[in-house]
Amino acid sequence: MMLIGILLVLWPKSASALPPYTFHYEGPDTFACFNLDGFKELLKLDLDVESLRVQVKILNNVIENDKIKINKLQENLDLQIKTIDELETENDRLYRLWSDENKRRRIIENKTNWPAIIGWSSAGVLLVSTAVIAGYAASSK
């Protein structure tokens, strides 16, 4: 209660939240004097201040808990970003391997098979020349 008395002395007279009061001087000390209704209102204000202090403590605890949650979420986000970076690197490596393997496979599949071309060409030429010779022999008789 002494704290309220000190605050009231320091509080400006124009403060509208306080009930009306008058100053009482006793030696070097100055006191704020309230009538009974003003004192009741002052007690209500004191109760409001105490309830607000409790609410501030509760909200400060909530803020601290939220800060802890934010830090945990930030750590989790950093871990996820690191994992994504590693997966992207691995994906790039696998894509390069696949591209190289695919290129080699296409080269092997589309490789010109000269022995087969020469063999079939020779067979075709032999067949055509046989047919021409047979046709020429048949027509000359």
Write the pLDDT tens digit of every residue in 3-22. 444 444 444 444 457 788 88
Residue 31 maps to a domain: yes
pLDDT of residue 102: 94
Q: Is residue 63 part of a domain?
A: yes
| pLDDT given for residue 13 in this prediction | 47
Identify the segments of the chain with pLDDT beneath 70.
1-16, 141
Whether 131 maps to a domain, the answer reads: no
pLDDT, position 14: 45
Model pLDDT, residue 2: 42
Nearest to 15 by CA among 37, 35, 41: 41
In-domain check, residue 24: yes
Residue 63: C-alpha distances to residues 49, 51, 79, 125 (Å): 20, 18, 24, 93
pLDDT at 141: 67
Domain membership of residue 128 (yes or no) is no
132 within domain boundaries: no
pLDDT for 101 equals 96
Number of separate domains in the chain: 1
Across 6-44, b (16+ Cβ under 10 Å) vs e yields eebeeeeeeeeebeebeeeeeeeeeebebeeebeebbee
pLDDT of residue 112: 73
Q: Are 18 and 45 in contact (CB under 8 A)?
A: yes
Domain assignment of residue 80, given as a range: 2-111
Is residue 120 in a domain?
A: no
In a domain, 141, yes or no: no
Model pTM greater than 0.85?
Answer: no
